[in-house]
Structure 1
Amino acid sequence: MGRGSLRIHLGAAPGVGKTYAMLSEAHRRAGRGTDCVVAFAEPHGRPRTEALLHGLERIPYRDVEHRGAVLTEMDLDAVLARRPRVALVDELAHTNAPGSRNAKRWQDVEELLTAGIDVLATVNIQHLESLGDVVESITGVRERETVPDEVVRRADQIELVDMTPEALRRRMAHGNIYQPDKVDAALSNYFRPGNLTALRELALLWVADRVDAHLQRYRSEHEVSAIWGSRERIVVGLTGGPEGRTLLRRAARLAEKGAGGELLAVYISRSDGLTSASPGELVEQRTLVEDLGGTFHHVVGDDIPADLLAFARGANATQIVLGSSRRPAWQYVFGPGVGATVARDSGPDLDVHIVTHEEVAKGRGLPG
């Protein structure tokens, strides 16, 4: 038997219904005759979620005594012995009781997958390891239980369980998430509208990154040269001239218009080392790119339009931003400038923006 498949229900915030979504999926599969069991589910006393546990086989949990308290854990060995087709495992980031075979629940899930058992699992966005600092800055709460991002990224399927901040706060106010005595404190602290909006955006961007990574891998494996724009990715062609700062700010505004937009600045230098770019200007522009949340790239090549387009297509870019040429009009007798050539050869899948600036037609001095 091969490795099992992993489907993760990723919650944009606590209380959005990820456990409910997981149990609903289990009922759908069981209705088709699939052998599903609940290895561990945490309904948190929510009636609608608890109702969905009825009709599903549940593997008895394991009680572990620790420092005078009894902790309830998933019985991994019992699930492995039962060998269902599908096992439901809530809260991937959970830390197991001391003395358990594995320190974390996601490691238990790894054993189930290795045994050929498909797993339906849940985790909230705030428990992803790489987002710990960001979540703490948003909510003021440091999540102690985390799961490595790679564990979630490797999932065969990820379903984002989302809800608007307004709807989630209504659920909270109606007592559908926490007990009544905890509602006011939650609404005033963790569940403030600003917090929920930021967590939701974080979840959307994380999922968009995963989708983009899958697209990049697919394009590479299947040698796809066409651009598939899962989100806006904007390439800025820099020459080392002072107009670069204007181009970068314009491109950053374009990136901000699309959720998860990405900014990439590229400087192409000649292979013979001959260039009239200002090293100091390039250093300043590199710093500006990073301040704007983008990345700086240095490419060596002798055909600037072709090299720029190759970089853009390799990065799966959707737009290119270039400055108007600094060449005086008489020099056009020797051929079109970089901007005109890029626009001509870009094809239908790349938008090219030519941005005017104060250095237009003041003399070439720099490639462009």
Structure 2
Amino acid sequence: MEKEDNGWRERSGPLARGRLRVYLGAAPGVGKTYDMLGEGQRRAGRGTDVVIGFMEDYGRPLTRKMAEGLETVSRKSVPYRDTAFTEMDLDAVLARHPQVALVDELAHTNIPGCRNEKRWQDVEELLDAGIDVVSTINIQHLESLCDVVESITGIRQRETVPDEIVRRADQIELVDMSAEALRRRMAHGNIYPPEKIDAALSHYFRPGNLSALREIAMLWAADRVEEAIQRYREQQGIQEPWATRERVLVAVSGGPESETLIRRGKRTASRGAGGELLAVHVQLSDGLATTPPRILDHQRSLVESLGGSYHTVGGEDPAEAVLRFARQVNATQIVIGASRRNRLKNLFSRGTGEAIIEGSGDDIDVYVVTHEEAAHGGLLGRHRTCPPQSPDDDTL
């Protein structure tokens, strides 16, 4: 039997895999451990069986006080090179088998001699045993971002967690703090001991560093929220786009106008916070390629250099394939080129652009961009025509 309580499960029957909640921060000192302990206190106050599997307070009084009253599983001593170190006693936590275990520092590397090399592997064992886990991590410890963080801070992170471990978490909560507030916490001695404060403020905790790390953390967390929204829409069979952010899809034919469209799409996406650029090329199902691969590769490189993503989809009808993909990715706008068809062809058949406009409905805006390669003649349907503004306007 199970019942839900704030997204966590109380169990009295056969155990399923536990649920993982991760408090994600941009830098040390934002309050991840404090919030983790606060969650433990709230859960315990509602009658849930909560223990501290591992917690590091670094001598911070407020953090230590927040842990008061919570049961703590004693650490185990691990000898290594004539020195005794303490680690989480995984077997003791498993034997205690609480409903919820608080396990700090997901990226921690265990001392040699422990069963697992990494703490996230310990957490996986707890989850497999049906124990819910609340943990913490900083954005710089995600494997895919350690190079980016090093380029910003000049410090290489040796302890990392595969992104997929955190992405699979049932809940990810961003612990946010402005750069100014975090520097004040540092200056007041609430993060590091006095002898380390000046060096930290002058190096890792510079305002620019902290603002950049904060932005990275926000964007990574926003992407996880977007993934959750997409899963929900798929599960509920929702086809209409939800305009949670501007997502601009450029339909790339491979023709000479494609670079103009890509750059226009990038500018459109950049006008709003969190805007996203995507490009899609339709490969006809007959397998006949009408554009040389080197040209498509060049256009893919342009999209990726502008921070967008390039996609190839198959289909018999290019317009139908573009619209189907647009709804799959929750696009809010589609950018297409003005028709290169001559007037005679337009009299007898409907072009791809017209079909995209007519099929877009009321929930996707279609922008038709004129270019030198377009033949004279109009496109029918609800759309907006965007003429090029100047040669410089199409160069990013």
Map Cα deviations across residues 7-41 of structure 1 (whole Å, 9 max, x no partner).
11111211110001001111111111112111111
Name the counterpart of 2:44.
Answer: 30
Once the two structures are overlaid, the 10-residue window that deviates more, 278-287 or 51-60, is 278-287
Q: Does 1:62 align with 2:76?
A: yes
- Kindly report the root-mean-square deviation, in angstroms, between the aligned alpha carbons of the 2 structures: 2.4
Q: Distance in 2 between matches of 1:67 and 1:151?
A: 31
Q: Is the 8 A contact 1:43 1:49 kept in 2?
A: yes
- Contact 2:17–2:130 under 8 Å retained in 1: yes
Paired with 1:43 and 1:140, the residues of 2 have a C-alpha distance of 26
In structure 2, the CA distance between the partners of 1:50 and 1:269, relative to structure 1 (3 Å rule), is closer
CA distance in 2, matches of 1:59, 1:280: 60
**CA distance in structure 2 between the aligned counterparts of 1:100 and 1:300, rounded to whole angstroms:** 50
Structure-2 residue corresponding to 1:238: 252
Which of 171, 175, 178 is 2:185 aligned to? 171
Q: Do the aligned partners of 1:242 and 1:281 also contact (CA within 8 Å) in 2?
A: no
SS state at 1:70 partner: strand
> C-alpha deviations, 1:32-86, integer Å up to 9, x for none?
1112111111111111111111121112222223223331211122222222221
SS in 2 for 1:171: helix
User: Does the CA contact (< 8 Å) of 1:240 and 1:279 recur in 2?
Assistant: no
The 1:305–1:181 alpha-carbon spacing in structure 2 relative to 1, beyond 3 Å, is same
Unaligned stretches of 5+ residues in structure 1 = none
Question: Which secondary structure state, in structure 2, belongs to the residue aligned with residue 264 of structure 1?
Answer: strand
Q: How far apart are the structure 2 equivalents of 1:65 and 1:276?
A: 66
Output one character per residue of 1:87-129: Cα deviation in whole Å (capped at 9) or x when no partner: 1110011111111111111111122222222111111111111
Letter in 1 for 2:68: H
Partner of 1:50: 64
Check the 8 A contact 2:49/2:98 in 1, yes or no.
Answer: yes
Matched, 1:84 2:98: yes
Q: Give the match for residue 267 of structure 1.
A: 281
Structure-2 residue corresponding to 1:193: 207
User: Cα offset for 1:278?
Assistant: 6.5
Change (3 A) 1:275 1:70: closer
From the superposition, tell whether residues 112 and 268 of structure 1 become closer, same or farther in structure 2 (CA, over 3 Å): closer
Amino acid of the structure 1 residue aligned with 2:60: R
Aligned to 1:123: 137
Change in Cα spacing, 1:145 to 1:280, as seen in structure 2 (3 Å) is closer
Match of 2:330 among 297, 316, 331: 316
Aligned-residue identity in percent: 63
Letter in 2 for 1:309: L
Structure 1: distance between partners of 2:283 and 2:170: 42
Kept in 2, the 8 Å contact 1:10–1:158? The answer is yes
After superposition, the C-alpha distances for 1:328-365 in whole angstroms (9 at most, x for unaligned) are: 5565433554334322321232121122223332599x
**Structure 2: gaps of 5 or more residues:** 1-14, 379-396
Change in 2 beyond 3 A, CA 1:65/1:283: closer
Give the Cα–Cα distance (whole angstroms) in 2 for the partners of residues 302 and 68 of structure 1: 70
- 1:272 CA displacement: 4.8
The corresponding residue for 2:372 is: 358
Residue aligned with 1:266, SS: strand
1:94 to 108, 131, 137: 108
In the TM superposition, residue 269 of structure 1 has moved relative to its aligned partner by: 4.7
Task: Tell me which moved more, 90-99 or 304-313.
Answer: 304-313
SS in 1 for 2:278: strand
Looking at structure 1, the residues matched to 130 and 283 of structure 2 have their Cα atoms a distance apart, in angstroms, of 52
